[in-house]
Amino acid sequence: MISSSLTPAATAPGSLAQSAQSDAKLHQAAQQFEAMFLGEMLRLTRPESKASGSFAEGQGEKSWQVFMNQALGQAATANDGSGLEAAIEQAMRKAQGMPAKAIP
């Protein structure tokens, strides 16, 4: 969730420190969103388990698979992700009424 500290008032002239803090929070939120998105994509593309017998897919495996997808999404984002982070951040800046930032 984006905090209220990302409002345009927080980036008023003379509040350079607040602006930098808002930029950092916005960047972090964009990274988290990309990680969540990648984790969900992994969940949707994972093939059905073909295990049988004692190793058949059970409730425990299904429960832990959620955590695995989240961890893989976070790891992918930490290693340059899918490239969506910059676009997500720009969209979030626009939604907050903040000026656009150059995409590296």
Question: Which residue, among 83, 70, 87, 3, has the nearest Cα to 35 in the 3D structure?
Answer: 70
Does the pTM of the predicted model rise above 0.85? no
Greater pLDDT, 44 or 7: 44
pLDDT value of residue 2: 45
Give me the mean pLDDT over the 69-96 stretch.
87
For residue range 19-69, list pLDDT tens digits in order.
778 888 888 999 999 999 999 998 888 877 666 666 666 777 777 888 888
Give me the mean pLDDT over the 6-14 stretch.
49
